[in-house]
Amino acid sequence: MLKFLIALLSVIPLIYMGSGWHMMHISLYLLAFMFMMAGNGAYWFYNLSYGMGCDVISYGLILLSFWICALMVMASQSILKSNFNKEMFMLMIMFLLLMLYLTFSSMNFFLFYLFFEASLIPTLFLILGWGYQPERVQAGMYLLFYTLLASLPLLISMFYIYGCWGSLFIPGLMKTSISGNMLFYIAMVFAFLVKMPMFLVHLWLPKAHVEAPVSGSMILAGVLLKLGGYGLLRLFNMLSLLGLKYNYFWVGISLVGGCLVSFICLRQTDLKALVAYSSVAHMGLVLGGLMTLSYWGVCGSYTLMIAHGLCSSGLFCLTNISYERMGSRSLILNKGLMHFMPSMTLWWFLLSSANMAAPPTLNLLGEIALLNSLVSWCWVSMVMLMLLSFFSAAYTLYLYSYSQHGKVYSGIYACVGGYSREYLLLFLHWVPLNILILKSETSLLWI
C-alpha cells in the first residue's frame, strides 16, 4: 500500500509543469490500472505496510476513488479552458484523493477518523472556490457543521474503546464484540449515518450538490457518501451485539425516509437537485440492508455503494453537459434535449436505466441482495420496499422523459453534438457499471 502512496505523492509536482493538467490526467488513469492489477483477491488484509492494509472492501472503494478522480479531471475541462486557478484545482483533487486513499487503507481506527475528517477540507474548498452561486458559502457551512458535529461523539467513544481494550487496531477489534450502553452505540454510529446521509440528517447533501462544481458533485456522490457505509461495515464487527438490539430503529427511518425523498424527487425542477435527492433514496436502501447485519445485507450494501458511485457520478456529468450548453439546470428550460443534443439522449437513457436498477447493471445485483436481506429480516418492510422501488423508477422516468421529450425551448436555435471527451467520460462511467456484474463474486462472496 505504501508504494501507491509514494506514487500519489510523487505525481503532485506534475501539476506545475507546462502541460501538467494532461500529465496528471494520464497519471491518474495509470495509477488506477496499476492498482487494479495489484489486487490479489485475498479475503483478508493484504499488502500490509506501516499501518496500512487492504482487504476486499477497501480495494473496491480505493479503486473507485482513483477512477472517479480521473473522471473528475476529464469532466472539468471548462476550468482548464478558462484557466481559472487550474493548478489549485488539481492540487485540491490530488489532496482529496490522497485523503480518501489513506482513509480506506488505514488499519488504525484513530487514523481512519483523522483522514475521514480531513477529506472534508478539499471538498469544502472545491465548493467554495469553484461553485456556481453565492449560496455556496452556506452550503459549505452546512457540510462542515453537520459532519463535524456528528463526528465528535465518535472521537470520544473511540478513546473509550482504547481505554477498555488498549488498542485501536481494526483487524484486532474485528473479532471482539464490545458491549456498552445505548449512548455509546449512538455515539459510534451517528457520524457515519450523517455521512451516508440518513434521512432527517440529509439536508447538507442536496445543498452541497447544487452549489458544487461538477467535480465536487462527482466526488461527493461517487466516494464521499461511501465513507459512511465503509465506516459502518468496519464498525459492526465490533458492535454486533448492540446492533442486533437497536438497529431496527435506523432501518425504519431509512426505508420510510427513502420513500419520502422519492416524493421530493418527483417535484424537483432542478436537474442536479433531483439527482442529489435520488442519492439519498439509494443510500437509505443501502443503510437499511447494512443494518440487518445479514450476509445478503452486508454484501448487497457494498455492491450498491460501488454501483451508485459510478451511476450517480455519470448522471451529474450529464447534467453538467446540458448546463454548459443551456446555461441553466432548470427542467423547464432543459426539455426537448432529444432535438437539441440527439446523440446524448442514448447516454441519458443508459444512465437513467442504471439509476432505476435495470439489468444488466451492478445496481440490479445490489438491489436484489438488499431486498432479499430486508424481506428476510422482517416481511413488513416489503410495503416500504415496494413503494421505494416503484417511486425510484418513477422519478428516474420523470427525469428522463421530461428532459429529453417535449417541445424544445424556443430561445435555442441550434442542434449541438457533444465533444468526444464527453462521450468517453460517459462511456467510462457506464462500462464498469455493466461489466462488473460479470465478476460479481468479489462483491458478494467476500465475508
Q: What is the pLDDT of residue 317?
A: 97
Q: How confident is the model at residue 1 (pLDDT cuts 50, 70, 90)?
A: confident
153 burial class (0-12, 13-18, 19+ CB within 10 angstroms)?
middle
Q: How confident is the model at residue 178 (pLDDT cuts 50, 70, 90)?
A: confident
410 burial class (0-12, 13-18, 19+ CB within 10 angstroms)?
exposed
CA distance 287 to 292: 9
CA distance 197 to 394: 22
| Local structure of 108: helix, strand or coil | strand
What average pLDDT is seen over the chain? 93
Buried b (16+ CB within 10 A) or exposed e, 264-290: bbeebebbbbbbbbbbbbbbbbbbbbb
CA distance 366 to 361: 9
Q: What is the pLDDT of residue 281?
A: 96
The string of DSSP codes covering 173-228 is: HHT------HHHHHHHHHHHHHHTTPTTS-THHHHHHHHS-HHHHHHIIIIIHHHH
Q: Residue 396: is its pLDDT beyond 70? A: yes
Q: What is the pLDDT of residue 410?
A: 78
Q: How confident is the model at residue 48 (pLDDT cuts 50, 70, 90)?
A: confident
CA distance 416 to 344: 10
Tracing cell 494532461 back to the chain, one arrives at 22
Cell of 339: 432535438
Q: Averaged over 264-276, what is the pLDDT?
A: 95
Q: Residue 279: is its pLDDT beyond 80? A: yes
80 burial class (0-12, 13-18, 19+ CB within 10 angstroms)?
middle
* CB contact at 8 A, 31 and 7: yes
CA distance 293 to 306: 19
CA distances from residue 42 to 56, 233, 314, 444 in whole angstroms, order as listed: 7, 18, 30, 14
Q: Residue 20: is its pLDDT beyond 90? A: no
CA distance 53 to 48: 5
Q: How far apart are the first and last CA of the chain?
A: 22
Cα dihedral sign for 180, 182, 184, 188?
positive
Q: What is the pLDDT of residue 50?
A: 85
pLDDT tens for each residue of 109-118: 999 999 999 9
Share of the chain above pLDDT 90, in %: 80
| Local structure of 106: helix, strand or coil | strand
Q: Which helix (H) or strand (E) holds 443?
A: helix 441-444
Amino acid, res. 200: L
Q: What is the pLDDT of residue 204?
A: 95
Beta bridge partners of 108: 169
Q: How confident is the model at residue 90 (pLDDT cuts 50, 70, 90)?
A: very high
Beta bridge partners of 169: 108
pLDDT tens for each residue of 299-327: 999 999 999 999 999 999 999 999 998 88
Q: Residue 352: is its pLDDT beyond 70? A: yes
CA distance 371 to 392: 14
DSSP-derived secondary structure letter, 270 = B
Taking residue 175's Cβ as centre, other Cβ atoms within 10 Å add up to: 8
CA distance 314 to 316: 5
Q: How confident is the model at residue 41 (pLDDT cuts 50, 70, 90)?
A: low
CA distance 58 to 227: 10
- Beta-carbon contacts of 248 under 8 Å, excluding residues fewer than 6 positions away, are 291, 378
